[in-house]
Amino acid sequence: MIVTITANPSLDRTIQVRKLVRGGLHRASSIHVDPGGKGINVARALVLNGLPVRAVVAAGGVEGEQLISLLELSELDVVPVPAVGPVRINVSVVEPDATVTKFNEPGALLGSAEAKALSETVLRHSADARWVVIAGSLPPGAAIDFYGELVRAIGDSAASVVVDTSGPALRPAVAAGPALVKPNLSELEEAVGRRLDTLGDVVAAGRELVDLGAGAVLASLGRDGAVLLSGQNCWHAEAPAVVGNSVGAGDALLAGFLAAGGAGLRALVTAVAWGSAAASLPGSTMPGPEHLHPRLVLVAPELEQDRKLHRDS
């Protein structure tokens, strides 16, 4: 069983337009509405591929009711926790060249009572979990070390903890000692306080997170695939993808990694296959078995330290 926690979920509305013009009138060529939030996306990808998963979600308002309804339609085991205020609505505007312009609302307030209820619910439903995934941004009102405290609390169980967050919440969560941290390029740059231009820079930054407390680091790099640092091992893998919308691709990548056992080169290859598949699908659609092509994933025999990164991840 894999349990995911989404403290700041969303309804993701993806709008495709021919060209985004500031101040102009736009007519959408297509619209997708998906349940969103990193933990929710991980859970959606896992359930689509037949894996047992439970999603703990803080949700309030009419929007929260819609979110829970959409998740239940996907046959996901959802555990809702009340929040103060409605679930946020995030809007992504996608142009034909796959350029994405995003508008993210801050989310509903997570006060001390709601934070306590969320933590207690997570601990109660994680007793039979192999992995617990703490994913997404902190909602307004939450303490900066909320995720870090949750990592420590879960640490008393048999479950291994994954952290995928950003901003001020990331370093305290890493310092709490999760088994795995899954940053993207911009989150990794923010965590170490500098720009990362090469694969070697990513490896050095990942080592810093390991020194801070992470058991392993899985860095998603957009068109450059992903890098996994685990113990003394360091691997890089990538796959060709026709990018339609990269929203949720990193979440699919993490889901694939856990689906394949959550460790080692095979899990990295599976992760990249899931992530590249998600990047080729509309909206924040998660890939099913029919979308996955792990044989297309390329593993570098030796990590190219000086290889320049694309700056679209």
Place of tokens 């088994």: 179
Give the amino acid at 307: R
Give every residue of the chain whose pLDDT is below 70, as ranges. 241-245, 283, 312-313
Q: Is 177 helix (H, G, I), strand (E, B) or coil?
A: coil
Instruction: Mark whether 251 is an active-site residue.
Output: yes
The predicted pLDDT at position 313 comes to 42
Q: What is the pLDDT of residues 172-219, one digit of tens each?
A: 999 999 999 999 999 999 999 999 999 999 999 999 999 999 999 999
Torsional class of 222: left (φ above 0), alpha (ψ -120 to 50), beta (otherwise):
left
Q: For the whole model, what pTM was predicted?
A: 0.90
Q: Which domains does the chain have, with CATH numbers?
A: 2-14+29-299 (3.40.1190.20)
- Percent pLDDT > 70 in the chain is 97
Q: Do residues 139 and 112 lie in contact, with contact meaning Cβ atoms separated by under 8 Å? A: no
Spatial strand order in the sheet of 226-230: 77-82, 53-59, 2-6, 131-135, 160-164, 180-181, 216-220, 226-230, 233-238, 298-299
How many CB atoms within 10 Å of residue 243? 17
Catalytic residue among 77, 211, 251, 312: 251
